[in-house]
Structures are given as C-alpha cells and as structure tokens.
Chain A
Amino acid sequence: MTRSRLPILFAMGLLSACVTPPNEREAPLDIRTVIARAKDRVYPCLVYVKPIREEYSSGEKLKQEVAGSGVVIDPSGLVVTNDHVVEKATRIECVLFNERQVSARIRGEDPETDLALLQLELPDDLKATPLPAAAWGDSTRMREGDFVMALGSPFGFTRSISLGILSNTRRYIGFQTRYKYSLWFQTDAAINPGNSGGPLVNTDGEIIGINTLGTFLAEGIGFAIPADTAREITERLRRDGRVLRAWTGIELQPLADFEHNTFFEAETGVKVAGVETDSPAQAAGLQSGDLLLAVGETPVHGRYVEDLPAIRRLLAALPPDRPASLRVRRGDPPQEFNLTVTPRLKGKLEGEDFDCARWDMTVKEISKFGNPYIAFYRPQGVFVQGVKYDGNAFESGLMPFDILLRIDGRPIETLADVKTVYRELLTNARREKKALVEILRKGYRQFVVLDYTRDRKKEREE
C-alpha cells in the first residue's frame, strides 16, 4: 500500500458469496447450500491480479510486485479491480480460474473512487470461449445484516472466500481518506491485504461491492465500494477511459457536522464552508457561509456528512461548456449565481513521477488534489518526492517535499522541464558535475549545489 494518508484503512479484498435461485429464496436456507451456490456463480469470475509497479517514494525507482484481486464483468475479458492495485503498474499479470496466467492492460482508472478497469489480453485459445462473467447486483437493496461473502487473494492466498454481514451500507470515510465522491459498504467479512479489487457478493451470487479497504488494528471492519457506484464508474471507464469531474472549488460542510461538533440552523441545503482561491465558485461570487440550496433544478440536501458525496457528484457533473445556475441563500431572498466550470476540469489526482537516477532522487509533478500542502506553495510544478539517504541529492542538502524552481538556471514548470535538464546535464561530458538548484522549502527559497560527481550506483556495483 502506498497511501500514506490512510493510516488505518488499507485495501483488501473480500470473497463474495453465493447465489440462491429465486424460487428457493422463500424457503429456509441451509447456509452451506447458499454459500455453495453463490460461490459457484462468482468463483469462476475471480481473478488474481499481480501488477508490477514502479515505486518512487524512496528516492529511486523501484519495482514492486503487488497482489490484488479482480472480477471479470464481461466475457470479453474486462476485469474490475481497485485503482490502488494497478496504479503505476508497468506490467499486469492475472491468474484466471482455469489457472491460466494472462497479461492485462489498464483500460481506465479512477482514483477518486479507487476503481480501475482492466482488459485481459487473452491468447487465442482463450478467446474462443467466452469467459465466465459475474453479474452486478442491486446494491441499493442491500441492508445492514445481509449476508455477504468476500472473494479474493488475501496475503496472496488465492481464491479465498470469507463470510460476513453488512455492518453498514452508508459509510462516509472522506475524513480519513480522499474518497469523497461515494459512500461505502462496511462489512465484517474478513478483508485483508490482497483482497483489494475482489468482489463482495450477496447470497444470490451477484456483485454488490468491490472490496477495497481494511482497518488497521481492527477486526471485522472492512469497506467495499457499492456496486452501483462501481458499475457506473466502470461504464464510464469503459467508454472514456477515465472519469472527468468538474472542479468548482466549493468546500462543503454538512448542516450537522458531528465530526467537528458543529451544527447549522437550516432545514435544507448544504453549507458552503469555503471557496477556494481562483476557483470557478469564487469567480461566480460564492462566499463561505452561503447555504447552497440547489444545483440547477436539483435541490440539495446536505444534512449529514453522508449526504455530501451525492452533492459532490452533482457538482462534478456540471457541464464544462455552459454556465450552471446555483441557488444560494445569503440573507433573504435566496440568490442565483451562475457558475461556469470551464476551463478547469479536475486534473490528475496525482502527478507523474520521474527518477533522476544519477542524482539519487525522484521527483513528482505537483497535483493540487494529490499534494495539497505542496500545491499551496506552488500550484504547478515539480517537487522532490524521495531522496536516497546516501545519495547525491541527500548529501547535497535536498530533502523530500522541496519544490524545484530552477535547475542550472533553467526554470522548472513541468516534469518535462526536469527531464530535459536532467538529460542535457548528464550527456554533457565536458561540464563539471554540479548544478545549482533553486528550491522552495516550506515556502522559502533556498539554493543548493547538487553535486553528482559520484556515480553511486556504479560504485555499489563495483
């Protein structure tokens, strides 16, 4: 797991349950029969996903093998899994029910909901017969207490099943994580690392969730993405390869904010806690303290924090090419504001990485959404992600989270700038192997002379 922002939650996978044919639902069920039938429907669709990913946080590019799970949702070989399983993967191998290992490629990713769609690259002999695919269930009909099963590969133990119930069907975990666009299922079916991306299945053998997170030091607290969310996102990924969301810059706060023990006097609507600087909302004239009543024709109800994802989705769906009307109460009577989302759609959640191997450091593009603290100082640019602790960058005095402003006098605005300078400096054999780097460290400028005279990797190999 690379999400350092999730101290307690981590991704897992769950096994999913079995299916009962309709005419037998009313009869008292033998739990073993139920499990067996559900399992039979989904078990063949289970995939063990093994990506090789590149990891940049330690100051050098390292390859890591990650294990997760997925489920086939289309006979052509589309597999749903979690984004955190396959992000930054350079190669993905999947093990199918018939013990065949095939490669896969990413068809689309959505980090905001932690979903990814893979396309299995089936060899010819497997293309002939359609793959068994699991069916989506209706997650809105699930209730707390319903039996569910989690399928997946916890700790690499492939094709495992665990059984539990739904502990909660409307869980908001946006405080501890960045998942602010959806609610989650909470279950006590065992979810462990390796379960990530696997299906959570009801007694009918339908996918009603995608197992994603566990809770550190807790037992029986795991989270899955509800099927309706997963289905919708998967469709968009299949169609567009990504999910575009509009960014308005509105910070929402529920009317009854138990997290902060803060409550607002209003029956409907949602509180605008703040408006980000230089955002479409600011340009439209919204202010913190406003009560947002409707987006377009749709009234908004944000009483509890669990209501916020739906509102956010509403705002995220605003079209980029025409203004939308927001009805707001700021005093009486309510006012209308026109908000235009162009041209900024919400960009990448995480910037791209680059390994400056000779300098023994890795850099990353600043992403406003992925690196809010760094982006505060410089919304666009490149920062030092990791520094090897006996490397050239470290010895020269560079530290993680330093923002690069200039290297060798050349301004650094994008990752491409870094790559260009890096290659030019390294290929110029005549110049001395030192470069002046101007950085922003916690908002204050400093200068460092990066000395890369030593080729430490070579030294280690010799």
Chain B
Amino acid sequence: MTHSPTGGAWRRPTRRPRWPLALALAAALPTPLSGGEADNGAPQRQPAARAMKTAEEAPSGRAGAEALDDAAFNARIRAVARDAFVTVHVTFRKDPAELQPPAPYHARYEDQGPEDLAREIAHRFVDDCRTLDLPGLWIDAAGTVLVTDLGFPTKLIDRIEVRTGDGKTIAAEPHAVLRDAPGWRLAARATGPCPAPAFADPGPVTPDMELTASWIEEIDGVWSISFGPLGGATLPLSGAPHPAWFRLGGGGGAPLPPPGPWGEVGNATGLTDRPLHLLFDHNAVPVGVALHERLPLAPEAPATWRGPAVQHGPAVTFEALRTLERKVIEAADRQVAEVKLTFRMTAPEDDADYRPRGSAPYLRDPFASPEEGRERTVYGLAVAPRRLLVPLGLNESLAARIERIDVALPGRESFVPGRFLGAFKAFAGFLVETDQDLAEPPPDLFAIEILPRVRPIATLRVVHKYGRRTSVFGYARILERQRGYRNRLADLPEPPLAPGTLLFDLDGRPAGFVATLRRDDEKVRALRDPDRGAYTAPWESGLHAEDNRLFRFRDIRDALEHPETAFDPDIRVKTKFEERRLVWLGIEYCLLNRELTRHLGIENPTKSGQIGVMIVDVYDGSPASRLGLRDGDILLAVREAGGQEPVELRFHEGDHAGFGMRYVGSAPPPESEEELWLAEPPWHSQRTPLNLLLTSIGKGKPVILTCLVGGKVIEKELVLEEGPPDYESTDRKKHEPTGLTVRGLTYEVRKALKLPPEAPGVVVSKVEEGSPAAVAKIHPYDVIQRVQGTAVDSPAGLVAAFESACAAGINTVKVQTLRLDRTRFVDLRFDMEVPAERIGKPGSEN
C-alpha cells in the first residue's frame, strides 16, 4: 500500500500560523454564502503590511492606483469573494467492481495501489451518506467552476452540486483537468451569467508585491469567508529577479474539516495542502488564484496562478483523458508482458527446525509461509524486443529461488520461457530476457527529457488482480520536490505512486516509471535497523514512500544498454545448494546477558550484554582460527571495510533454534537422556544469526570485526569467505527402495559426533516410515559408515553402493551404522515393494 489510512505519504508539515486577530469573518455567512454584512470591526489586515504602503512607496507597476483605506479594502474583497466563491458538494458512488474494500491482510496477495485508497475513501462517504464539501470558484460567466484537483477517478463521482452565495443549487459535471495548475474545471449548468471575478493582470512579480488571499471555510456548519495577507516572500539571496515564492501561511490556508474520513482524505490525497484561494492585489482587485499551499508567483514558475491564465489556460478534458487511457492501454497490450515467476519452495523438513525466528531482515524469509504461493505474476515493459523491464524489487533471497520464468503477451495463449538477467543496483527493478522476440518496445522510449512539474502525467499500472491482468489508468502531478538520499532532489508526485507504475505524457508517449530507490549501503542499513530496510520487503511496494522515485527512461538508458555494469552482482539465481551456502567465521558461540557480562566485568563494551557473543569453540582451519580467535573471546560488531557504521551483534535467544536455550514458549526440557538425543539433532545448526549476517554482507567482502580479547577492544580484518557445506547446505540423496535420505558428514556434524575428518560415513537425515530402513531400526542422525564392508564417503557413494549391489543381484546389503559410540550391523533389503510412481528414481535429489 502506498498509503495507509492512518499514515500517509510523507508531506512536509504545513505551517499554518493562526492569526490571533480574528481575520476571519467580517461577514458571517449562513450556509452557503448568503448576504448580510456584519462588520464586527475586527481589523482585516495586518496594519504593518498596510503601513508600508505609502504613496511614495507604491510599487512602480501600479503607479497611480488609488490608495484604499482598510474598510474599503475589506469591503471590496468581501464583495468579490462572496460572489465568486461557491461550495461544491460531491456525492460518491461505489465502484461496481469493488463493492468491499479489501481487508488489510489481503494486501499481500493482490497488488494495492493508490486508487484503492480512493475507493476506500469513497466507501466511507457512500456508506455514511456524506458528501465531500469543498470550496469552488466561478471563473467565467458561463458557469465554469474551479476546484482543486480532486484526484479521484471520475467514475466514483455520482453527482456534483454547486451552491452559490445567493442560495442557488446547480448541478455540475467534471469538465477538464487544468494543465498548468492543480485544479479541475467543473461545468455547472447555470441558467444565467455567473459572477466570476474580473481578473486583472497583476503585472511583474517583485519582492514588494503584496497580495491578499481570501478563502472560504466551513466552521460549525457555516461557510464563512476569511482573508488575510500572504506570508512573506522568500527570495534567493542574490537579489536578482528570481522566482518569488509565497507561502500561504498568513491566511492559514483553507483547512478542511478535521479528522474522520475527511481528514484522511485530506492526508492521503494531499487535499489538505491544496486550498483554493482567490488572490487580490493591494487595491482589492482579483488577480489570481492559489491552488497549492506554496505559491510560486514568478512568470516561469510551473503552476499557473494568474487569473486570466487559469480562466483560459490549457486544460485536458476528461473526455480526452478517456481517449488517452484507451490509447495507452492499447499500447501497453503490445508492450507490457506478463511475467510469471515460479519460485522454488523449500521442503518443510529442511526448515522446520532451523528457521530462526527473529525479526532482523536477514532472518526474514518472505516466502516463509506456503500460502504465499510459489508463483507471482508481475508485468514488465519491453525495452528491447527480447528484454522486459520489471520495476519491482527482488531481493537476494527471492531471486536466488527463481525456478523458472514464463512470459506472455495478452491475447497470446502460450507462454515463452524467460530468464532472469539481473537486478539493478540503483533502483528496485530487474530485467527478464526471452529467447524469441516477444513484444515491441515503445518506439520513443528515451524521447521524453523531463518529467514536467504540475502538468498531469498519465500513469498506468498493470497488475495481476483477482487472477487476471488489470490495467489501471490515472494521472498524477509533480507539485513538489524534496531533497533525499545523497541530497538529490526527488519529485513528489501527487497522489503518491506505487513502484511499477509507468508514466506517460499527455500524448501517450512513455516518459518513465516509478521504482524504489536503492541505496548503496541498504543491506547494512537493513541489518542494523530492521524497520528501515525498505528494500528487503520486495513485494511491499512503497513501504516507505520516500524511497519511491520517478525515473525517466532516459535516466536508465545506460543501464539498459549496458546492464552488466548496472546490475547488482549479489542478486542472482542460485541453485538450491548455492542458496544455502553460508559465509562463515567458523565458531560456535553463546549469547551474553546482563548478569553474565556484569560477572565477567565486560558490561561496558557489550552494553550490558545487549551486544556481543562469546566464542565457545573454534573450528580448525576456519577464518576464526586463522585470525587467532579463541574460546572466551567476544565478538561485538562487524562492519564492511570502507568506513560505515558497524553492525552490532545484537542477537536474541529466539533466533537460535536448536541451541537448547530456554526461552519463553519453548518446549519443556526432555524427560530422559534418550529424548535429549533424539528430540533434536546432536549438532547446532550453522544457520546462526551470526552466519546469516555475514552471508548477508556477502562473501568476498572485506570486513572488520570488533572483538573483545583479553579485556581489550580490538579490531581484526578479514575477507569473508564461504564456508564448507554444512548440514543444511550439503548434498543429500534419497534412496527410495530403502527409504533412506542421507547427507554428507559436514564439519559441525563431525565435531558433534566426535568423528575425525577421515572417518567415513554419511548421516541419515530422514527415514521413511515402514521402509526397509525403518524396519532395520535405523534412526535419523545415525551415521552409516560401511556398506558391504566398504566405507561410504558421500551420499552419492551410498546410493552407488546400493545400486551396484542391486545390479549384482544382491537384494540385501549389510550396512554398518554408528549411533553415539555404538556400532551395529544392519541388513537392508531392496526387494520390498516400491510404489509404481517411484520406480526409476532411485537416487533422486531432494
């Protein structure tokens, strides 16, 4: 979800200083704007601003204008405002395709986008039988009403009513979207001329320019006119004539009614920051409107504010938008292909005991639950006849598990195979390549140079919704920019856009796309602070909207043409065993706690036991042994060489399955020694948080370990290396006729079972019930050392020994097994009945 109902896209907080003097309300207007002026004498204007204007200081552009006194000024403004302002009441209807708003947990299965928020909000209005009430302004006599850009799809609007100051109610329809200002024009079915303000040209903008803004707001059910001066101008320091920006802080903006669904609408769509102001010059002549809280007044400023320009400026009718929608979707049908990713699922027996239950992102498995499904369907834009760009994130662990990719264009029955080319370093997106020409890329992919400010940008999201391809068209405007990562300015579209959205100009030419920005140090950041790891939640688009960026296709031209240099080398498809390989240090450790560190006098460097682990064993030949680390040394933190902050080793008991640690919710301790042995394997899983952390950092990376050795904090440098296979990542084989699944004797298993490196054997990881192995009473974690007297060195060797015996006509082999320190001989018979579907796969890999 780009938004959440309670949160919202990041917005710079709007300062709205409340003027202590009651600027609001010279005329109390019963709903709507009706007549009657009750001048309660409150000063309407800050005396200081007015005081500046003496005849001598009158701005040059307006030499000769009459100077008004306060009362006349106020009266004139009120008169114009009262006629010009109307209130607009929007009644919504439900989207017939979406009668119920989706429950939050469904969000994981179906793509959610900003339009869903609109739908949700509409429900609140429809279900509560409420209207959306906002200010409007006549801008011509024919009955055109200006309102701020609502941003809702018009199909959700049932009807619009305009109510005038003199009590008339007129029906209206959405007519056009202003091109150069964030507003809509409504066409009201007025029967007579409408009292639009007679805008005058305000002339050139200077720092001395004085503007007064007026607006209407609903207070306790009564719409009232307020007005006040615009806040001070902000000019760049150089003093040369430059764009002048006014904040509408002075008047307080046109705040929308307080919370409830209305407040959420405001927050989510930015309407809170989009007032509708009528601007007057110092002579109380209407000169313009403000449709945004920050008003750039200079001529080359992007947003139109001058009255005449608003009245007559270019706009895109909704009809034209619908035509554009058809055009864009038609083109997308040829250019955007469906990409079906099938992921490898892990067998439950592999993970059940060993999955650490931590919250750190490198511990999180996005496909932890089978409900997530093996397949995801996403959509990619053709950037070459055989290449598709999918602007969605795939993190390392997901990409590693891609089993196959199938690509299809709409209307075509069959899928063609695709392959994962790579994921980009700079943003969350990846390329898929097919072996045959599939789609035609847009002819002018790199044509658009800029993403315009204010002007509507057409947006298209192609999503897989409720089992089929759905194209969602809309438009957004870039109204603001903000500095973000690396001080770069980022466009902030309104409404916020979800990653994967394609952008077009108003002629339907492709302009760019929305993707999550990736940061150089995002992995380490995520390791250090799980909540900020935006990239580690690949399918949760816009988790942190500030990281979603608009990219032009031009921006990534180089990356598309030379993707090898632009790809992230860590994100790639891996085999099952490659995926499981760990970077290791080669130690066993135990956790610290406050009491322990106090007792050992190491509270300070370990932050009272919150960070650090104590080495209790070092494996021979491991990086730790080469570094000289020994039992009792404490590891505190690790960081990549290159000066970033270290990642402190802050682990919890709950992350260490199989360590036999007591933690809340764990099973009761074993009743007997035998249970102690049989309940869990006698060795520790090497998928410890420490090893997973190092694996996240990546093999080959130089790192610096901060350690506490002999009471002193020291640093040790090393280059991370991949460890030897461990129990989970080593090769394994299943021999169907005997029902045995065996794995190689890896280093930690040998150590736990006290088997020297040269001792032969394979360890049994699974015994099928009722199989010959079960009948022979072979148990998991037994070691099979010899078959027919010959030593067995590997799972493949075991299967080969079985097969060669079978080939020699022997249907019973003698196997020597080891458990604890006890050796036993066991007959394994092959001639037991094997189910038909398993025949022919004697040594299948698991």
Contacts and interface: CB of A to CB of B under 8 A. Distances in A.
A435 to B, nearest CB: 9
A273 B671 contact: no
A447 B634 CA distance: 13
23 contacts: A257-B825, A260-B827, A261-B826, A262-B814, A264-B814, A271-B825, A273-B824, A274-B821, A274-B823, A288-B816, A288-B823, A372-B820, A373-B676, A376-B754, A399-B669, A434-B595, A436-B596, A442-B682, A443-B683, A443-B752, A444-B617, A449-B595, A449-B598
Interface size class of A (residues with CB under 8 A): 35 or more
Nearest to B669: A399
B786 to A, nearest CB: 8
Given A274-B821, A436-B599, 15 more contacts: A4-B671, A4-B672, A251-B823, A260-B826, A261-B827, A262-B825, A262-B826, A264-B814, A273-B822, A387-B669, A397-B661, A399-B660, A401-B670, A444-B660, A446-B661
A446 B593 CA distance: 12
A263 B827 contact: yes
Interface of B: 588, 590, 593, 595-596, 598-600, 614, 616-617, 631, 659-662, 669-674, 676-677, 680, 682-684, 752, 754, 775-777, 789, 814, 816, 818, 820-827, 829
Given A274-B824, A373-B676, A443 B682 contact: yes
A374 interface: yes
Nearest to B816: A288
B614 A261 contact: no
Given A373-B820, A376-B821, A436-B599, A442 B676 contact: yes
A448 B662 CA distance: 11
Contacts of A273: 822-825
B595 A451 contact: yes
Interface string A246-278: 000001010001011111100000010111110
B673 A274 contact: no
B816 A289 contact: yes
A16 to B, nearest CB: 34
B311 to A, nearest CB: 78
Contacts of A444: 588, 590, 616-617, 659-660, 684
Name the 10 nearest CB pairs between A and B, nearest first.
A274-B823, A373-B673, A445-B616, A449-B595, A262-B827, A446-B590, A288-B823, A399-B669, A273-B824, A373-B677
B823 A449 contact: no
Contacts of A276: 821-822
Given A436-B599, A445-B616, A259 B822 contact: no
Nearest to A277: B821
Contact of B669 (A371, A400, A449): A400
Interface in A286-332: 288-289
B705 to A, nearest CB: 21
A441 interface: yes
A443 B682 CA distance: 8
Of the candidates B598, B671, B672, B823, the one having the most CB atoms from chain A within 10 angstroms of its own CB is B823
B614 A253 contact: no
A257 B814 CA distance: 12
Nearest to A7: B672
A340 to B, nearest CB: 21
B663 to A, nearest CB: 10
Interface string A389-429: 00000000101110000000000000000000000000000
Given A251-B824, A271-B825, A397 B674 contact: no
Nearest to B820: A376
A447 B614 contact: yes
A331 to B, nearest CB: 11
A434 B821 contact: no
Nearest to A371: B673
Contacts of A4: 671-672
A261 B822 CA distance: 18
A32 interface: no
Contacts of A371: 673
Contacts of A274: 818, 821-824
A460 interface: no
Residue in B593, B677, B821, B826 whose Cβ sees the most chain A Cβ within 10 Å:
B821
A5 interface: yes
Contacts of A400: 669-670
A277 to B, nearest CB: 6
Contacts of B599: 434, 436, 449
B600 to A, nearest CB: 7
Q: Which residue, of B598, B614, B669, has the highest number of chain A Cβ atoms within 10 A?
A: B669
Interface string A350-376: 000000000000000000000111101
Contact of B674 (A260, A261, A271, A373): A373
A176 to B, nearest CB: 12
A449 B591 CA distance: 12
A374 B677 CA distance: 9
A261 B777 CA distance: 9
Contacts of B614: 447
A434 B593 CA distance: 14
B776 A262 contact: yes
A372 B821 CA distance: 9
B268 to A, nearest CB: 49
Contacts of A277: 821
Contacts of A449: 593, 595-596, 598-599
Contacts of A397: 661-662
A273 B822 CA distance: 8
B55 to A, nearest CB: 86
A447 B825 contact: no
Nearest to A287: B823
Contact of A253 (B677, B682, B820, B824): B824
B617 A372 contact: no
B798 to A, nearest CB: 18
Nearest to B594: A449
B745 to A, nearest CB: 16
Contacts of B616: 444-446
Contacts of B670: 400-401
Given A273-B825, A442-B660, A260 B596 contact: no
Given A260-B777, A436-B600, A444-B684, A401 B823 contact: no
A441 to B, nearest CB: 5
A173 to B, nearest CB: 17
Contacts of A445: 588, 590, 616-617, 631
A11 B820 CA distance: 29
B644 to A, nearest CB: 31
A445 B826 CA distance: 34
Nearest to B591: A446
A446 to B, nearest CB: 4
A182 B826 CA distance: 24
A187 B614 CA distance: 58
A286 B803 CA distance: 30
A176 B684 CA distance: 29
A401 B662 contact: no
B561 to A, nearest CB: 54
Nearest to B777: A260
B176 to A, nearest CB: 72
Interface string A1-37: 0001100000000000000000000000000000000
A100 B228 CA distance: 113
Given A371-B673, A373-B820, A376-B820, A447 B590 contact: yes
A388 to B, nearest CB: 13
B816 A441 contact: no
A374 B682 contact: no
A400 B776 CA distance: 31
B824 A260 contact: yes
A423 B599 CA distance: 20
A397 B660 CA distance: 11
A442 B676 CA distance: 8
Contacts of A257: 825
A428 to B, nearest CB: 16
Contacts of A434: 595, 599
A208 B788 CA distance: 45
